[in-house]
């Protein structure tokens, strides 16, 4: 028996980008395990991925191209050849381009795989070359990144491994144990060294339960807390004057602005007792090194951008950046010198082009968003919008259009793929090669393919090569091999790549970027913020073009970053939908709904796989506080309806005081088949954008819950 071990990397949209060792016997992957040599993975995979081979060999894998035979959405398909599938796509595209123009084609994708060659940008060059509509992908952290860029620039921030040196750790809207679990040992180590761990979350999550202090907060009000912390720090002269003078701009204006955000004001907004706001602030400002780790969830409401602006001001105010393990951690992705331009090729775009935001997919397809020309073809890959995007009713209506030609490339027939006219089978990470950045640590990774592709599945790169050929494109750029793409994906001359070679990377599976060792690295001890002024900008220079979308999210967009000017100082924006900000609406719909990540799913991935569904619970559940449940006659297991003016979805109740009064929690990622009927949580989420970066506002929604 031939038995080998292949080193790869987890493909998922997860900060941890684990190093995976796959055991292969006679060409079949029989087990996966975490690489013990990887300093972040430390030999452990999460519950989503520790049986990855079951995903790969699932009976439900899509392994051959298919054509729809039943009505749209019926899920009835017949097998066809790749040649036929590609020929049909090419002829429909040519026809649409001839009659309506290329803008009538809309690609739609995200991070189904995070590999640099198969992931975010794999289709961009082709769709740019065609002149298709550009889908602006502001799913995740776009508002947060805009705010971060405005305040401290695109810095990797605190090395996640440097947390072992921290003495005061705030996890702010971050459920580390579920969503970033390989960071936890570093936090634990810090606690062994005497650190205090604070979690700010409306829910007593797994993470909050293990913290020294869980501070429940009303969804969407975090900015009021951050501004009150600024207020107290300045009032009580807990500032680091030298650091502020040397490395920040706009302190006087910030101080004046913060006057109005008293602890009493913040307490009324957030539901946090005034004394707790004082205690938190005093402890934070007087313990060094102090570090804040923000989760993506902090941006998902009307004022999400300004929330991150305010939080990002805190470390500079108290001089936290002077210490190893002090400052702020958001996404260390900014450390990776990816050749984004080469991956997305914005230079190929025509001068006039149309940008459609990912959160507007439903209305873009139905015509509720007026578009000329209308969308006649949708090409989905690396994404599952039926499960993950708001305005689900419109999306369903749009996807059901008989005159819409929909292509979906997938591992499985997801809620979105059911509506395809043509299905294309994609390889999983075990069957493809790729090079990977991380948004949770500082190691570049390489994924060696462990097995041959199953059935007729192909990597996304190969799929786009085939389509390009059928569209008579002759530019050799579109026919680069995977190896060529990998070689061109990084700026190997960048100082952080010094001494790193592709050969080493392939062999070891991961290499640390050439940044200082975690224990020696205080990246902004001497300022050097990558902002226009080189300083931490309490008063933002970029606010003049403030409501722009960071190019990474506007992939492929060849425009400048012009946007609406915004107030250059951090300020509080109330949620659109909360009992305090919308009392009339709250009369009808008194409960705030949030839909955080499931422990056992990765977005909607694994929502169809037995082991993970067994862990998550077969059916969508919604958790209420006991008082809210009792008031509605609801008990554990009661079938319920969750509804507002936008729609309704059905679930089973869970009752727990882990959830704040007035808040209901519906874990994200369930497929429609797991619901008693039809729609999921995105039947209820709002279409509104947050204040910055066109981030979503799905933590900013009022609902009512009733039993059947």
Binding site for ligand SF4 (CB under 6 A): 10, 12, 14, 16-18, 45-46, 48-49, 181-182, 602
| Contact range with ligand MGD by CB under 6 A, out of 195-203, 360-368, 396-404, 612-620 | 195-203
d(CA 316, CA 537) in angstroms, rounded, equals 9
Please give the residues from 61 up to 120 whose contact with ligand MGD meets the rule CB under 6 A.
Answer: 110-113, 118
Q: What torsion, rounded to 10 degrees, do the Cα atoms 542, 545, 549, 550 define? A: -30
Q: What is the 3-state secondary structure (H, E, C) of 156-214?
A: CCCCHHHHHHCCEEEEECCCHHHHCHHHHHHHHHHHHCCCEEEEECCECCHHHHHCCEE
CB of 17 to ligand SF4, least distance (A): 5
CA 447-186-40 angle, 5° bins: 10
**121-145 core/surface letters (b: 16 or more CB in 10 A; e: else):** bbbbbbbbbbbbbbbbbbbbbbbbb
Give the per-residue contact string, 601-640, with ligand MGD (x = CB under 6 A; - = no).
Answer: xxxxx-----------------------------------
What is the full DSSP assignment across 206-257? HHHHHSSEEE---TT-HHHHHHHHHHHHHHTT-S-HHHHHHHEE-HHHHHHH
C-beta closer to ligand MGD: residue 243 or 336: 336
CB of 608 to ligand MGD, least distance (A): 9
The 3-state DSSP class for residue 33 equals: strand
The 3-state DSSP class for residue 267 equals: helix
**Is residue 595 close enough to count as binding ligand MGD by CB under 6 A?**
yes
**Is residue 120 close enough to count as binding Mo ion by CB under 5 A?**
no
**Closest listed residue to residue 424, CA positions, set 436, 435, 413:** 413
C-beta closer to ligand SF4: residue 226 or 436: 436
d(CA 150, CA 172) in angstroms, rounded, equals 19
Question: What backbone phi and psi angles, to 5 degrees, belong to 647?
Answer: 170, -165
CB-CB contact of 211 with 185 (8 Å): no
Please give the residues from 127 up to 146 whose contact with Mo ion meets the rule CB under 5 A.
Answer: 140
C-beta closer to ligand MGD: residue 248 or 391: 391
Q: Which does 547 bind (CB under 5 to 8 A by kind): ligand SF4, ligand MGD, Mo ion, none?
A: none
Tokens read off for 595: 């839909």
Q: Determine the longest span between alpha carbons in the chain, in angstroms.
A: 73
CB of 598 to ligand MGD, least distance (A): 5
C-beta closer to ligand SF4: residue 48 or 61: 48
| Contact range with ligand MGD by CB under 6 A, out of 167-175, 348-356, 367-375, 579-587 | 167-175
Q: What torsion, rounded to 10 degrees, do the Cα atoms 226, 232, 235, 241 define? A: -70
Please give the residues from 387 up to 416 whose contact with ligand MGD meets the rule CB under 6 A.
Answer: 387-388, 409-412, 414
Q: Which does 45 bind (CB under 5 to 8 A by kind): ligand MGD, Mo ion, ligand SF4, none?
A: ligand SF4
How many Cβ atoms from other residues are within 10 Å of residue 473's Cβ? 17
Instruction: Tell me which of 175, 438, 461, 697 binds ligand MGD, using CB under 6 A.
Output: 175
**In the complex, which residue's CB is closest to ligand MGD?**
112
CB of 662 to ligand MGD, least distance (A): 13
CB of 358 to ligand MGD, least distance (A): 8
d(CA 638, CA 617) in angstroms, rounded, equals 14
C-beta closer to Mo ion: residue 142 or 578: 142
CA 143-203-269 angle, 5° bins: 65
C-beta closer to ligand SF4: residue 611 or 648: 611
CB of 405 to ligand SF4, least distance (A): 33
Please give the residues from 440 up to 479 whose contact with Mo ion meets the rule CB under 5 A.
Answer: none
Q: Which does 144 bind (CB under 5 to 8 A by kind): Mo ion, ligand SF4, ligand MGD, none?
A: none
Give the per-residue contact string, 679-708, with ligand MGD (x = CB under 6 A; - = no).
Answer: --xx---------------xx---------
d(CA 154, CA 551) in angstroms, rounded, equals 12
| Contact range with ligand MGD by CB under 6 A, out of 229-237, 384-392, 397-405, 686-694 | 384-392
Q: Which does 168 bind (CB under 5 to 8 A by kind): ligand MGD, ligand SF4, Mo ion, none?
A: none
C-beta closer to Mo ion: residue 570 or 607: 607
What is the full DSSP assignment across 86-100? HHHHHHHHHHHHHHT
C-beta closer to ligand SF4: residue 17 or 382: 17
d(CA 274, CA 633) in angstroms, rounded, equals 33
Please report, as ranges, the residues that interact with ligand MGD according to CB under 6 A: 13-14, 110-113, 118, 139-140, 172-175, 178-179, 200-203, 205, 217, 219-220, 222, 295-298, 301, 381-385, 387-388, 409-412, 414, 426, 460, 594-599, 601-605, 668-669, 681-682, 698-699
Please report, as ranges, the residues that interact with Mo ion according to CB under 5 A: 140
């Amino acid at each position: 028996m031939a038995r080998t071990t292949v080193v790869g990397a987890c493909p998922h949209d997860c900060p941890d980008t684990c190093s995976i060792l796959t055991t292969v016997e006679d060409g079949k992957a029989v087990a996966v395990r975490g690489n013990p040599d990887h300093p972040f993975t430390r030999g452990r995979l999460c519950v989503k991925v520790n049986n990855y081979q079951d995903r790969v060999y699932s009976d439900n894998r899509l392994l051959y191209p298919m054509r729809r035979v039943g009505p749209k959405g019926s899920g009835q398909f017949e097998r066809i050849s790749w040649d036929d599938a590609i020929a049909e796509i090419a002829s429909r595209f040519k026809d649409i381009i001839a009659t309506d123009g290329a803008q009538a084609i809309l690609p739609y994708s995200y991070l189904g795989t995070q590999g640099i060659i198969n992931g975010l940008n794999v289709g961009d060059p082709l769709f740019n070359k065609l002149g298709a509509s550009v889908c602006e992908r502001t799913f995740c952290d776009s508002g947060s990144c805009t705010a971060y860029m405005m305040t401290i620039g695109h810095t990797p921030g605190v090395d996640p491994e440097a947390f072992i040196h921290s003495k005061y750790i705030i996890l702010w809207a971050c459920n580390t144990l579920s969503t970033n679990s390989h960071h936890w040992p570093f936090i634990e180590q810090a606690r062994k060294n005497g650190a205090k761990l604070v979690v700010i979350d409306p829910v007593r999550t797994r993470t909050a339960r293990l913290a020294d202090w869980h501070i429940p907060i009303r969804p969407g009000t975090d900015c009021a807390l951050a501004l009150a912390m600024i207020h107290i720090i300045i009032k009580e002269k807990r500032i680091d004057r030298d650091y502020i003078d040397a490395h920040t701009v706009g302190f006087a204006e910030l101080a004046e602005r913060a006057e109005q955000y008293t602890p009493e004001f913040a307490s009324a907004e957030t539901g946090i007792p005034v004394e707790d706001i004082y205690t938190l602030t005093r402890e934070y400002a007087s313990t060094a090194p102090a570090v804040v780790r923000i989760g993506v969830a902090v941006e998902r409401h009307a004022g999400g951008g300004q929330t991150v602006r305010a939080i990002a001001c805190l470390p500079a105010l108290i001089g936290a950046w002077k210490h190893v393990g002090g400052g702020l951690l958001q996404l260390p992705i900014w450390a990776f010198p990816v050749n984004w331009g080469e991956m997305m090729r914005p230079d190929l775009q025509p001068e006039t082009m149309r940008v459609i935001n990912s959160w507007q997919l439903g209305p873009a397809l139905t015509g509720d968003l007026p578009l000329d020309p209308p969308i006649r073809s949708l090409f989905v890959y690396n994404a599952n919008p039926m499960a993950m995007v708001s305005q689900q009713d419109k999306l369903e209506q749009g996807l059901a259009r008989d005159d819409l030609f929909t292509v979906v490339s997938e591992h499985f027939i997801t809620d979105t793929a059911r509506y395809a006219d043509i299905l294309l089978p994609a390889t999983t990470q075990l069957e493809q090669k790729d090079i990977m950045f991380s948004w949770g640590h500082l190691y570049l990774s390489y994924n060696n393919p462990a097995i041959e592709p199953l059935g007729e599945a192909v990597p996304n790169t190969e799929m786009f090569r085939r389509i390009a050929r059928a569209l008579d494109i002759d530019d050799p750029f579109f026919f680069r091999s995977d190896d060529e793409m990998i070689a061109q994906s990084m700026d190997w001359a960048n100082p952080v790549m010094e001494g790193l070679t592709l050969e080493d990377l392939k062999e070891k599976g991961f290499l640390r970027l050439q940044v200082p060792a975690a224990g020696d690295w205080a990246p902004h001890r001497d300022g050097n913020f990558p902002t226009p002024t080189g300083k931490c900008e309490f008063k933002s220079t970029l606010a003049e073009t403030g409501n722009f979308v960071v190019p990474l999210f506007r992939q492929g967009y060849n425009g400048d970053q012009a946007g609406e000017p915004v107030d250059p100082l951090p300020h509080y924006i109330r949620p659109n939908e909360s009992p305090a900000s919308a009392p009339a609406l709250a009369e009808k719909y008194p409960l705030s709904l949030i839909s955080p990540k499931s422990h056992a799913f990765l977005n909607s991935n694994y929502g169809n796989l037995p082991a993970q569904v067994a862990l998550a619970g077969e059916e969508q559940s919604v958790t209420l506080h006991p008082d809210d449940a009792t008031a509605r006659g609801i008990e554990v297991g009661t079938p319920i309806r969750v509804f507002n003016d936008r729609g309704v979805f059905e679930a089973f109740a869970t009752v727990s005081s882990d959830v704040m009064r007035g808040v209901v929690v519906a874990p994200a990622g369930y497929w429609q088949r797991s619901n008693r009927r039809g729609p999921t949580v995105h039947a209820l989420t709002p279409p509104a954008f947050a204040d910055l970066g066109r981030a979503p506002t799905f933590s900013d929604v009022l609902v009512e819950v009733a039993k059947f």
